Amino acid sequence: MPTVPTREEALALLHEHTQGESLRNHALAVEAGMREMARRRGGDEHLWGVIGLLHDVDYERWPDPSEHAKQGAALLRERGYAEELVLPIIGHNPVHGVPRDTDAARVLYAIDELCGFVHACALVRPGKNIGTLEAPSVVKKLKDKAFARQVDRQCIRDGAAELGMDLAELCGAVIVALRGIAPQLGLTLAGAST
């Protein structure tokens, strides 16, 4: 019977296949974002969190877009993990043409790049403080193509549209999520508004 791993099992699998600290931190950020969005949208917080943790489990070995996510899906299927976990992970890489036909899949696509972007926005603030970072600042930074240029801004805009969310609202949700794990991401939390 297909299963969903515990968080501890998912974290162990991530660490087995991902050695780089920045990619591990990205997985933690996306996990936090997925959990926050599950709370906001009535999703399964555990399932969505595990999807976030494992979405790039294959990236260090297969960064090429033609293989990334496909190889991760194969690994997860080998372990007998449920398709409700596997399909959003394949679907977050549009190269594979897997429809994002669940809310979890649409959310993963929408926040994957955005989590990295919000993290980058916080890292350049005085004291690496995410506590005072607000959504309008993130939206403004998205327009600066020189800042975090590797981030696919179109993916972020398309993801927000797929969710039927205003871009600032989506940025705000990700900020809240990352504030919850700020120390793990090397960020501070002074002056956070509630």
* Tokens describing residue 104: 């979890």
Is pLDDT at 177 greater than 80 in this prediction?
Answer: yes
Mean residue pLDDT of the chain comes to 95
Percent of the chain with pLDDT over 90: 94
Is pLDDT at 194 greater than 60 in this prediction?
Answer: no
Residue 188: phi and psi, rounded to 5, are: -105, 170
Q: Kindly list the structural domains of the chain, giving each domain's residue range(s) and its CATH number in brackets, ordered by start.
A: 7-185 (1.10.3210)
CA dihedral 64, 68, 70, 75 (to 10 degrees): 120
User: In Å, what is the CA distance from 189 to each residue of 15, 102, 181?
Assistant: 26, 33, 10
The pLDDT value recorded for residue 102 is: 96
pTM of model > 0.75: yes
pLDDT digits (tens, 9 = 90+) for 33-91: 999 999 999 999 999 999 999 999 999 999 999 999 999 999 999 999 999 999 999 99
Residue 129: phi and psi, rounded to 5, are: -90, 110
Query: How confident is the model over 21-43, as a mean pLDDT?
Result: 97
CA 25 to chain centre: 10
Helices (H), the chain: 7-17, 21-41, 45-54, 70-78, 83-91, 103-123, 135-142, 153-163, 167-179
- Closest by CA position to 110, among listed 11, 58, 36, 180: 36
User: In Å, what is the CA distance from 88 to each residue of 39, 42, 55, 175?
Assistant: 18, 17, 8, 22
